[in-house]
Amino acid sequence: MFVNRYLYRSATVFSLIMSSHHFVRENQEPALFILRLESLHTEVIGELLEWVPTVVATQEVAEKLASHGIKIDAVVAELPLAIPLNELVDAQFPLTLVDREGRSPLVAGLEFMIRAGQKAVNLIGLDHREAFLLEPYLEQLDLVLFDGPLRYFPVKDPSFKKWVPGGSIQLHGRENSFVEVSTEQESTVHQIRHATFLEVEEGTIRLQSTELFWVGEFFVSGL
């Protein structure tokens, strides 16, 4: 069911992906923040690079992304750089270096995008089990987390309606918290535990909880 986490098998894939990497300025589209590469899938990357206005990466992955022709706008690194990025900076000009200043790459990158006026971010390379690290930023950023073949979005309101195509969804949140899932036919209450998956039919569902939680949907078709 889950994708192979070791994505980079050929440069050909990325040459195809980059043909559709267009930039839309003025923060009109979600930025793409890449922390790690292991959880990526070619189909995910291809769709997220379609009209991405800003690509932010950690120093650990920036050179690999650039080697595949991906234009990077900002690199999160501890300054001064232990390993010079002179060639990368020249090739990717204009390129912003974001100083971690002792912070984690995640925190430094998200705070940079908030200061830059970004409103939404697609995040890749963070395990969904660490989604709680994103909670301090949910008031300022619309965050979507991609982990393996699933994308996770937070449900911050006590009651939330969503149309679903049918299939499996995952509920992720504080262990042993409760989420009520309602359809036109019935309402059921689910206690969140590790990897709580539900089978839902096509249609509109209502999700209710007294606590913030995340919904995971399969993003890559055919997995």
Say what the pLDDT of residue 40 is: 58
- The SS3 assignment for 15 reads helix
Say what the pLDDT of residue 220 is: 59
Contact 145, 128 (CB under 8 A): yes
CA distance 79 to 89: 14
DSSP H stretches of helix in the chain: 11-17, 42-48, 59-67, 86-91, 105-115
Q: Under CATH, which number does the domain 11-148 receive?
A: 3.40.50.10240
Amino acid at position 150, single letter: L
Confidence label for 4 from pLDDT (cuts 50, 70 and 90): very low
Which pLDDT tens digit goes with each residue over 118-127? Answer: 999 999 999 9
Put simply, whether the predicted model's pTM sits higher than 0.85 gets the answer no
Say what the pLDDT of residue 25 is: 47
Which pLDDT tens digit goes with each residue over 47-103? Answer: 888 877 789 999 888 888 888 788 899 999 988 776 667 777 777 888 899 999 999
CA distance 146 to 151: 4
Confidence label for 108 from pLDDT (cuts 50, 70 and 90): very high
Domain ranges of the chain: 11-148, 154-218
